[in-house]
């Protein structure tokens, strides 16, 4: 047991005297309020911060001059006459260790034992330099313990590893005197791990933000830093930013989510030949952007919304605009939503770049390509004519020659010539691949176009009719053509083709499958190689190449003997539903060569 007049006494120094004064003030406040006060109440009356008040109250608890009671989450402190020292130790949430003048551990509280995973039996009456606890501390602490026992109080912050986890503590070494007059030392470890992590997190955020500001505002840092408290400097800075917007070599517009113009910069005025006053409050659709130059589907509001919200695959909307002098100009538009004070996105910042020259160059390239295609068409025609002559000559020679060796040579020549013919036909079929820009392709329409005028051997094809579209090259129809051609040519006994999909958190898998004989496991990758197969060997190879134009992949995952199954992987940004009605509705698109009317829809 510890008496009020025989507890912790501060060592004589300026710091000790000041702390002794604070403790006296706390005792007087507690005397005036015998029912007790919380840490916050005492801190306000001193006044001191909560951390310092808590430290002094811990000292009073250790010395037995005060006691603490808990009411829910609140801790109420009152003066006490006699308090058991061991109980006082356990009342504190801090980790407490009491040493005597010989560095023997005399007392340790439960929070200390629980956190370090030690027992009091292995610690009490053990020299601290021989305890397992000291191994967790940096080497400097033995010297600090001895120095503190001589009367010098220490406060340090250190990292300590406990059970494989890093903790941060504020460690206070406070000299004290026992009842018998012996000198001792209170070691108080205040857990500040969360505070330290939060501090490190804030420091990291500050470092990252500072780095960004250095990069983006290098030329303005000195001026802004020197005048940041001056209203005049802020106004000057705003003026400069305003001039930057007005004089930017790009069209800058601010519009509502309905397309009404709120801001029209000076470059836009010069580019379109109209003033900001003429355009404010007007809709961009039907003024600077002709109504017919956006998508023809949907209401005007839906067309505006689609224009203002580009996707990852279409970050720019390339639109042919009209100037005041009726001169056409191509502009690449991009937009960014702007949140208001409530967090709602009700306005958009639109940036337009003049791409008229680029479009003119593209048109010139298209014309050049058209001429090259014409030349290659004539060349192909001539080569095929020559090959026809070679076919005929080979045929005549084979009829007139009986030497088996020479006949063998002629057959090899015939095979080579026919291979050349197939390659020439291939260049004709795929001469336009990649010329058109990628866009949203409707799956139902692509399948329908791919089987137009083709004999399907009584195959039934089912396709979802819920408006599924994928972002792909316009030659997507060739992908389905080659998949269907593969079924028609190689899937013996196949009677049905199904096109379906499965959607997940990562995206969508578009599935093409038939009920034929399937593809052997050792050929699942080879079928996509150039030249593999019984015919020209380019069908599935080109299907994979067409999908790769927009980053899509295809693989064969069917079980041999149950039919072929091709899966096309699409990320979330590469597909959409124009009519979100679920996958339950499927249409039997083709039954043999006959188109089945929409009335024949059935659930799939």
Q: Are 587 and 462 in contact (CB under 8 A)?
A: yes
Which residues does 53 contact at the CB level (< 8 Å), separation at least 6?
26, 39, 42, 43, 46
Q: Are strands 594-595 and 496-504 parallel, antiparallel or unpaired?
A: unpaired
What b/e sequence results for 388-405 when a residue is b if at least 16 CB atoms lie within 10 Å of its CB, and e otherwise?
eebeeebeeeeeeeeeee
Q: pLDDT class for 409, splitting at 50, 70, 90?
A: confident
Which residues does 399 contact at the CB level (< 8 Å), separation at least 6?
none
Mean pLDDT of 545-561: 89
CATH placement of domain 439-603:
3.30.565.10
Q: Is the pLDDT of residue 153 over 80?
A: yes
Q: pLDDT class for 287, splitting at 50, 70, 90?
A: confident
Tens of pLDDT along 212-271? 877 777 777 667 666 566 666 566 666 666 666 566 678 888 888 888 888 888 888 888
CATH architecture classification, 248-354: 2-Layer Sandwich (3.30)
Tens of pLDDT along 45-88? 888 888 888 888 888 887 767 888 888 888 888 886 544 455 55
Q: Are strands 575-577 and 468-472 parallel, antiparallel or unpaired?
A: antiparallel
What sections of 105-249 are H helices per DSSP? 110-116, 120-123, 140-149, 193-216, 221-227, 231-247
- Residue 90 preceded by cis peptide, ω within 30: no
Neighbours of 290 (CB within 10 A): 14
pTM to 2 decimal places: 0.41
Q: Is the pLDDT of residue 494 over 60?
A: yes
CA 488/CA 492 separation, integer angstroms: 8
Q: Are 4 and 81 in contact (CB under 8 A)?
A: yes
Q: 579 vs 100, which has greater pLDDT?
A: 100
Q: Are 241 and 234 in contact (CB under 8 A)?
A: no
Tens of pLDDT along 156-204? 998 888 888 888 999 999 888 775 657 888 899 898 888 888 888 888 8
Q: How far is CA 198 from CA 9, 45, 206, 377, in A?
A: 35, 29, 12, 70
Give the angle 142-146-150 at the CA atoms, nearest 5°: 165
Q: Is the pLDDT of residue 590 over 60?
A: no
CATH architecture classification, 95-200: 2-Layer Sandwich (3.30)
CA 78/CA 95 separation, integer angstroms: 22
Tens of pLDDT along 445-493? 999 888 876 777 778 889 887 789 998 888 888 899 889 888 888 877 8
Residue 83: its pLDDT value, please? 43
Q: Are strands 496-504 and 460-464 parallel, antiparallel or unpaired?
A: parallel
Candidates 1.10.3720.10, 3.20.20.60, 1.10.8.60, 1.10.10.10; correct CATH number of 1-92? 1.10.10.10
Q: pLDDT class for 510, splitting at 50, 70, 90?
A: very high
Residue 500: its pLDDT value, please? 92
Tens of pLDDT along 299-348? 777 777 777 776 554 556 778 887 877 788 888 888 888 877 777 777 88
Contacts 24+ apart (CB under 8 A), 220-226: none
Tens of pLDDT along 192-216? 888 888 888 888 888 888 888 777 7
Residue 553: its pLDDT value, please? 92
- Residue ranges with strand state E in 340-409: 345-354
């Amino acid at each position: 047991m510890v008496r009020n007049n025989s507890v912790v006494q501060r060592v004589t120094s300026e710091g000790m005297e000041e702390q002794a004064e604070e403790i006296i003030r706390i005792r007087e406040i507690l005397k005036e309020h015998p029912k007790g006060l919380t840490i916050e109440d005492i801190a306000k009356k001193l006044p001191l911060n909560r951390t310092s008040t808590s430290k002094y109250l811990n000292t009073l608890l250790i010395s037995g001059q005060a006691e603490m009671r808990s009411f829910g989450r609140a801790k109420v402190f009152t003066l006490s006459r006699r308090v058991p020292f061991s109980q006082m130790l356990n009342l504190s949430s801090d980790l407490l260790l009491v040493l005597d003048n010989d560095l023997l551990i005399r007392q340790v509280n439960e929070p200390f034992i629980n956190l370090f995973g030690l027992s009091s039996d292995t610690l009490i009456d053990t020299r601290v330099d021989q305890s397992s606890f000291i191994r967790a501390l940096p080497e400097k602490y033995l010297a600090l313990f001895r120095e503190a026992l001589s009367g010098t109080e220490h406060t340090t912050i250190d990292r300590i590893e406990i059970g494989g986890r890093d903790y941060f503590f504020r460690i206070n070494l406070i000299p004290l005197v026992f009842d018998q007059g012996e000198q001792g030392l209170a070691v108080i470890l205040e857990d500040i791990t969360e505070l330290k992590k939060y501090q490190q997190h804030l420091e990291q955020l500050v470092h990252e933000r500072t780095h960004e500001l250095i990069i983006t505002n290098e030329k303005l840092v000195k001026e802004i830093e020197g005048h940041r408290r001056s209203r005049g400097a802020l106004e000057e800075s705003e003026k400069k930013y305003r001039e930057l917007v007005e004089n930017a070599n790009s069209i800058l517009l601010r519009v509502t989510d309905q397309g009404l113009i709120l801001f029209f910069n000076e470059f836009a005025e010069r580019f379109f030949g109209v003033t900001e006053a003429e355009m404010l409050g007007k809709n961009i659709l039907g003024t600077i952007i002709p109504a017919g130059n956006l998508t023809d589907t949907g209401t005007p509001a839906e067309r505006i919304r689609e224009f203002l919200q580009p996707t990852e695959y279409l970050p720019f909307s390339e639109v042919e605009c009209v100037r005041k002098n009726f001169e056409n100009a191509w502009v690449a538009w991009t937009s960014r939503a702007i949140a208001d004070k409530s967090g709602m996105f009700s306005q958009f910042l639109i940036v337009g770049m003049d791409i008229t020259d680029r479009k003119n160059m593209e048109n010139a390239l298209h014309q050049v390509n058209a001429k090259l295609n014409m030349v290659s068409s004539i060349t192909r025609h001539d080569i095929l004519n020559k090959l026809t002559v070679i076919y005929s000559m080979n045929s005549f020679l084979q009829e007139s020659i009986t030497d088996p060796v020479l006949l063998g040579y002629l057959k090899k020549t015939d095979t080579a010539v026919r291979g050349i013919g197939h390659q020439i036909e291939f260049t004709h079929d795929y001469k336009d691949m990649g010329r058109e820009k990628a866009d949203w392709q409707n799956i139902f329409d692509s399948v329908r176009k791919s089987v137009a005028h083709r004999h399907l051997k009584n195959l039934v094809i089912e396709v979802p009719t819920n408006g599924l579209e994928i972002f792909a090259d316009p030659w997507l129809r060739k992908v389905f053509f080659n998949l269907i051609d593969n079924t028609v040519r190689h899937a013996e006994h196949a009677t049905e083709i199904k096109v379906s999909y499965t959607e997940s958190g990562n995206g969508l898998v578009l599935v093409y499958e038939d009920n034929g004989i399937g593809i052997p496991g050792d050929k699942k990758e080879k079928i996509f190689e150039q030249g593999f197969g019984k015919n020209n060997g380019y069908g599935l190879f080109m299907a994979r190449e067409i999908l790769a134009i927009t980053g899509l992949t295809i693989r064969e995952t069917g079980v041999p003997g149950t039919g072929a199954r091709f899966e096309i992987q699409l990320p979330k940004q590469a597909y959409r539903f124009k009519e979100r009605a679920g996958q339950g509705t499927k249409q039997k698109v083709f039954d043999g060569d006959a188109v089945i009317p929409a009335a024949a829809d059935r659930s799939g």
